[in-house]
Structure 1
Amino acid sequence: MLLRKLEITDTQNVFDHWLSDDRVTDNRVNAAHKSVAETYDRIDKILSKYNDLDFCYWGIELKNSDELIGEIDLYDFDSSTDNCQVSYSLGYNWWNRGYGTEALKAVVEFGFKYMEYTQNIGST
């Protein structure tokens, strides 16, 4: 598995693999997308934030197949406590295979090493 920036060409995969799936979005704040246009707008918004220094958002991709299976991000950075939150979504076909755990470990390490967050990172 590897983490990478999303691209506008990922829109259909993001829609198909997790954002249109009620099983996945049941655990998210927002409801399942009903159209690819909704997903396109979301990806476009994400892309516009990649230049922000505190924007930490990655697609989760399988190394052996280059298949995009999910997303993970760090957010709600609190400089007074050096804490932040993490959120991730995986397509239903990849649940219970350890991909979420592997991605979570990678972004927590990133937060500690590169963003210097040294206290608890909460999960939602």
Structure 2
Amino acid sequence: MDRFPIIETERLILKEVSFEDANDMFKYLSDKDVVKHMGLEPYESPDDVLGEIRWYKSILEEGTGIRWGITQKNSGAVIGSCGFLNMRPRHYRAEVGFELSKSYWGQGIAGEALKAVIKFGFQYFELERIEALIEPANLSSQRLVEKQGFKREGLLRHYEYTCGKFDDLYMYSIIKGDLKLI
């Protein structure tokens, strides 16, 4: 990939985040309701967010993922992120993750971003399978991926250890052939 790909949708521009976006990102990454299902404690300062941005850059450099900042066309402020992690090109699969500032919940923004990222993954990265790992209590994310065509495959018991506890996660997936838009 020569340049970071920009994805444009009807209302959004998905772009590479930079260190200058730390203040925007701090607004939602410091919100306990936004991060509670991400296995993170709320960030305490914009400086803490720099580590998150460094992680985005490292997964891109390593070829194990890519994360886009979600911005509205009319503002340019980063209001969330969406992208791939744990990419396994040899197996044509990746995991998708996303989060969105609480003030934008319920407006279809996360779904619009997720749909564009899924389409990009199947077309550009030639993925065959995209997975989403979601905590059982995170009903809104479960509904979001189900609306995009993901199927729940099962429960992974004590799959992650985050914030001092073991977390069960539902495994969801969508296969390239599940989509009619490609």
TM-score tier by shorter-chain length is 0.7 to 0.9
Equivalence for 2:53: 43
Whether the aligned pair in 2 keeps the contact of 1:7 and 1:47 (CA below 8 Å) is: no
Equivalence for 1:122: 131
- 77-86 or 43-52, which deviates more: 43-52
Any unmatched runs of 5+ in structure 1?
none
Give TM-score, length-normalised by structure 2.
0.62
- Give RMSD over aligned pairs: 1.7
Q: 1-side partners of 2:73 and 2:52: how far apart?
A: 24
| CA displacement at 1:84 relative to structure 2 | 1.3
Aligned-partner residue type, residue 82 of structure 2: I
- 102-111 or 53-62, which deviates more: 53-62
- Give the fraction of aligned pairs with identical amino acids, expressed as a percent: 28
Q: 1-side partners of 2:46 and 2:39: how far apart?
A: 18
Equivalence for 1:5: 16
Residues 81 and 47 of structure 1: is their aligned pair in 2 closer, same or farther, counting only changes over 3 Å? closer
Q: 1-side partners of 2:77 and 2:47: how far apart?
A: 21
Whether the aligned pair in 1 keeps the contact of 2:84 and 2:96 (CA below 8 Å) is: yes
Question: For 1:93, what is the secondary structure of its paired residue?
Answer: helix
Give TM-score, length-normalised by structure 1.
0.88
The answer to whether structure 1 residue 92 and structure 2 residue 96 are counterparts is no
| CA displacement at 1:80 relative to structure 2 | 5.3
Once the two structures are superposed, residues 81-103 of structure 1 have per-residue CA deviations (whole angstroms, 9 ceiling, x without a partner) of: 42211000100000011111011
The answer to whether structure 1 residue 83 and structure 2 residue 108 are counterparts is no
Equivalence for 1:19: 29
Question: For 1:30, what is the secondary structure of its paired residue?
Answer: coil
Q: 2-side partners of 1:47 and 1:84: how far apart?
A: 17
Q: Would you say how many aligned residue pairs link Structure 1 and Structure 2?
A: 122
Q: 2-side partners of 1:80 and 1:70: how far apart?
A: 29
Highest relative contact order (Cα 8 Å, sep 6+), 1 or 2? 1
Equivalence for 2:39: 29
Higher strand content, 1 or 2: 2
Residues 35 and 79 of structure 1: is their aligned pair in 2 closer, same or farther, counting only changes over 3 Å? same
Aligned-partner residue type, residue 104 of structure 2: W
Once the two structures are superposed, residues 41-77 of structure 1 have per-residue CA deviations (whole angstroms, 9 ceiling, x without a partner) of: 2223323444444431100000012121101111112
